[in-house]
Amino acid sequence: MTPAYARVLENRRALVVGDDELGAGIALRLERAGALVQLVAAGDAAAALAEQPLDVLVLNALPAAAPAPLDAMSTQTLEAALGAVRHTAQLMQAFFPQLRQRGGRILLIGHRYGESVSEGLAAYNAAAWSLVGLTRSAAVDWGQYQITTNLILPLAATRELHSAREQRPRVIELLIAQLPLGRLGDPADDVGAAAVFLASEDAGFINGEVVHADGGQHVAGAVLSPARFRTPA
């Protein structure tokens, strides 16, 4: 039986940038809440620019970086990791005129390590933390326009995690076992639900926050680092 989702975003215009499993799940949950949703790949976001107001902007801003400790991190590796953050900032600026027409919601989607530091991932750590700074800068600078900006750090059952489970089943089982809820999140019903709440009127006074939609991983203990358990070539 299909659940009766509350349509708290009825007829609001939402744009979700990043059409991977996480982005698609969030878009689906926003639609169930009544939003008029457009889901686009990161490279196609500019085509969505228009003059009419935009109520919700979701930027799936996952930084990517090759594993390397700080002593071995190259400038190119750092630049590649920061590239996703730079692109996110550019999109926020581009859609700002649409969002401020009636006070919009900006949701950045980071990574489960986004407020942690994992060994062997120096470039990623730098990029992930910069999303926190970007979120809070927007909260301070754009709050005057009744725009709220928040960062979601999810842990969801995605292809990336399934692939890691196939390569390192023991490590991923340990990761899941340390979760207080004992399971991975669903991109729509768990992470998407958090996005709906932050996009709704009920969250209109929540601004500049980092929301962990991770089943409690961030409070359960040290994050397991894939770099430590990487399979030798």
CATH of the domain at 134: 3.40.50.720
* pLDDT of 1 strictly over 50: no
Q: Quote the CA–CA distance of 211 and 55 in Å, as a whole number.
A: 20
Establish if 28 belongs to a structural domain: yes
pLDDT tens sequence across 73-128: 999 999 998 998 999 999 999 999 999 999 999 999 997 776 777 788 899 889 99
Mean pLDDT over 24-30 rounds to 97
Establish if 180 belongs to a structural domain: no
Q: How far is CA 60 from each of CA 13, 45, 168, 186, 227, rounded to the nearest angstrom? A: 17, 11, 26, 16, 23
The number of folded domains in the chain is 1
Establish if 179 belongs to a structural domain: no
pTM for the structure as a whole: 0.89
- Radius of gyration, alpha carbons of the chain: 18
Establish if 34 belongs to a structural domain: yes
What is the average pLDDT value for the chain, to the nearest integer? 87
Establish if 55 belongs to a structural domain: yes
* pLDDT of 177 strictly over 60: yes
Mean pLDDT over 137-159 rounds to 93
Establish if 123 belongs to a structural domain: yes
Q: Which domain holds residue 39?
A: 13-158+185-220
Residue 117, both tokens: 């530091």
Is residue 118 within 8 A of residue 73, CB to CB? The reply is no
Count CB-CB contacts under 10 A for residue 82: 16
Q: What is the DSSP letter of 19?
A: -
Establish if 174 belongs to a structural domain: no
Half-sphere exposure of 168 (CA within 13 A, CB side): 17
